[in-house]
Structure 1
Amino acid sequence: MTTLLETRYRTVLRLLPAYYRREREEEMVETYLEDLDRDTQDQSRPTLGEVVSIAALAVRSRLGAAGAPRPYVVLGSVTRLFALAAVLLLAASAVVAPVLRLTWSFTRGGAQRRLFLSEFTDHGVLAGTVAVAQWVLPLGWAVAYFALLRDRPRLARLGVLAAALPSLWPLLRSVTDATPLPEPAFVTMLALLAWLPALALCTAHHRDAPPARLPAGTPGLVFMATCVVTGASLVLLPAVSDLVWGPVNCFVVGALGLLLWSVRRTDRGVPGGALALAVLGLLLLAVRVAALYPWLRVPGAAAYIAGGLAQAGALALLTAVLAVAGRRELAAR
């Protein structure tokens, strides 16, 4: 006769994918129940630690664990490549933007330098601490990028979680401050641009996942090239630059290069590369639209609007091409 505790365990085990339950469910239930008195099982429940452990196993088994069916292997590969590409873009932006800002502030005279330093000293201890954190913590993207490619996933997880924290500050301040949040859609999308890659990295790079690797090039060379494109985007067209201008341009250049390079490849490589970039392109497109929308009716913003619309159009077209290429890639396999 099935006890209430066994029923509860089987309910929790439904978090696992069907293929895993078919192979392991009975064994797992027996393991959970073997040391428990049958007379007390109707008054017991799975512990919080057991539920968390099963939930973590459910994530690993759905994201390409050893022995997983092909759809789960592809899903895991797409998630890992999405996280790697997004972390690369965010890492380059986190390095280039502060360098350009420091260069501008300290080469434009004493007044500009004092204005820059006032951000850290003239608004109280809390505001100064937040300002320092907003400069330092995003460097965790670069730490995570190199840690991931050196097969140090734990350091990479710490890096992305620290780097994503500043994106929450405007949302938290809007809760405690009576002042309405300016451009809430854009602020929310920026938070998603930080936290979706962070969560994807933390979940997909589990202990059964293969080591991260780039489709082409060495980590240092790819990072340097991404920084160059980001910096050039901000310096050459400052009138249309915003927080997503550089990352989107890097994505467009990188995705086009990867598409052209993949046409000439003879090996199949890691599955899901085009689909991963399509997902990232869709996320960047949403952020671009959220950034552009509040300016559509602002007088004098024609140059910014034209640049944003051109970038959004190129991004939408490229994302569609990547989605088609990714579907064909999976069908060919």
Structure 2
Amino acid sequence: MTTLLEARYRTVLRLLPAYYRREREEEMVETYVGDLDRDTQDQSRPTLGEVASIAALAVRSRLGAAGAPRPYVLLGSGARLFALAAVLLLAASAVVEPILQLTWSLTRGGAQRRLFLSEFTGHGPLADTVAVAQWVLPLGWTAAYFGLLYGRRRLARTGVLVAALPTLWPLVSSLTGATPIVEPAFVVTLALLAWLPALALCAAHHRDAPAARLPAGTPGVVFMAACVVTGASLVLLPAAADLVWGPANCFVVGALGWLLWTVRRGEPVAPGGALALAVLGLLLLAVRVSAVYPWLGLPEAAGYLGGDLVQAAALALLIVVLAVAGCRELAAR
């Protein structure tokens, strides 16, 4: 006869995918309730730690754990590539943009230097601390990128969570009434651009997942190439530059390279890769549209809008091509 505690454990175990339950459910239930007498079982519940452990196992088993069916392998591979590609784009931007800003400020005379330093001083302890944090913490993307590719997964998880924190400050300050949000759609989508890859990295690059690797090139060379593309787009077209300009241009170049490399090889570079890049492109397109929308119809913003609208069109076209390639890959498999 099934006890109340056993029924509760089986309910929690429904978090696990069906293939995993078929293989392990009876063994797990026996482990949880085997040493308890019936009276104790009728008065007990699964602990919070056990529920959290089962939930973490459910994530791992759905994202390509050892022995997982093919659909879960594809899902895990795609999630890992999505996280790696997004972290690469954000890492390059986090390095290039501060360097360019610092170079500009230090080479334009004393007035420009004082203006730059005024962003970090004279606004009160909290505001000054936030300004410094927004400058320093995004470097965690770079630490996460190299940590992930060199097998330091704990460093990678810590890096992405730290780097994504500054995107929450506008939301927190608006909730406290300190600073109203002028462009809420842009702030929210920018936060999603940081937190979705961060959560994907933490979930998909679990202990049972294969080691992260790039489809081509070494981590340093690929990072340097991303920095060059990001920096060139900011220097050559500064009028159109905003927080998503560099990462989006880097994505366009990288996605085109991915497609050409896939065509040359005659097979997908990584399972689920095309759909993963399509999702990342869709996220970048959402940020681009939310940044452009408030400026539509303003004549003085024509110089800014031209480049951004071209970029949005390129993103949309690439998303369609990647989605088609990804659907063909799934059909073939």
TM range (shorter): over 0.9
Q: Residue in 2 aligned with 1:103?
A: 103
Question: What pairs up with 1:71-86 in 2 under 5 angstroms?
Answer: 71-86=71-86
Q: Residue in 2 aligned with 1:136?
A: 136
Q: What secondary structure is seen at the aligned counterpart in 2 of 1:126?
A: helix
Q: Residue in 1 aligned with 2:253?
A: 253
Structure 2 counterpart of 1:323, which letter?
A: A
Deviation at 1:24, TM superposition (A): 0.6
Per-residue CA deviations over 1:60-80 (Å, capped at 9, x if unaligned) read 000000000000000000000
Per-residue CA deviations over 1:36-89 (Å, capped at 9, x if unaligned) read 121122221100000000000000000000000000000000000000000000
TM-score (norm 1): 0.98
Deviation at 1:297, TM superposition (A): 3.0
**Counterpart-to-counterpart distance in 2, 1:268 and 1:138:** 32
Structure 2 counterpart of 1:272, which letter?
A: G
State whether residues 262 and 269 of structure 2, in contact with CA within 8 Å, keep that contact through their aligned partners in structure 1. no
Aligned residues: 333
Q: Residue in 1 aligned with 2:297?
A: 297
Structure 2 counterpart of 1:61, which letter?
A: S
Deviation at 1:179, TM superposition (A): 4.2
**Counterpart-to-counterpart distance in 2, 1:268 and 1:175:** 45
Q: What secondary structure is seen at the aligned counterpart in 2 of 1:300?
A: helix
Q: What secondary structure is seen at the aligned counterpart in 2 of 1:301?
A: helix
**Counterpart-to-counterpart distance in 2, 1:148 and 1:57:** 21
State whether residues 173 and 180 of structure 2, in contact with CA within 8 Å, keep that contact through their aligned partners in structure 1. no
Deviation at 1:309, TM superposition (A): 1.3
**Counterpart-to-counterpart distance in 2, 1:88 and 1:179:** 31
**Counterpart-to-counterpart distance in 1, 2:18 and 2:272:** 23
Deviation at 1:129, TM superposition (A): 0.8
Q: Residue in 1 aligned with 2:5?
A: 5
Q: Residue in 2 aligned with 1:193?
A: 193
Per-residue CA deviations over 1:83-113 (Å, capped at 9, x if unaligned) read 0000000000000000000001111110110
Structure 1 counterpart of 2:260, which letter?
A: L
| Structure 1 pair 267–306 and aligned structure 2 pair: CA distance change class (3 A) | closer
Deviation at 1:178, TM superposition (A): 5.1
Question: What pairs up with 1:233-272 in 2 under 5 angstroms?
Answer: 233-266=233-266, 268-272=268-272
Matched, 1:18 2:27: no
Per-residue CA deviations over 1:211-260 (Å, capped at 9, x if unaligned) read 00111111111110110110111111111111101111100011011111
TM-score (norm 2): 0.98
Structure 2 counterpart of 1:244, which letter?
A: V
Q: CA RMSD in A?
A: 1.0
**Counterpart-to-counterpart distance in 2, 1:52 and 1:178:** 36
Which 10-residue stretch deviates more, 248-257 or 295-304? 295-304
Could you tell me which runs of 5 or more consecutive residues in structure 1 were left unpaired when the two chains were aligned: none
* Runs of 4+ in structure 1 over 6 Å off: none
Per-residue CA deviations over 1:241-287 (Å, capped at 9, x if unaligned) read 11101111100011011111111115654211111111100111111
**Counterpart-to-counterpart distance in 2, 1:197 and 1:262:** 23
**Counterpart-to-counterpart distance in 1, 2:79 and 2:142:** 19
Could you tell me which runs of 5 or more consecutive residues in structure 2 were left unpaired when the two chains were aligned: none
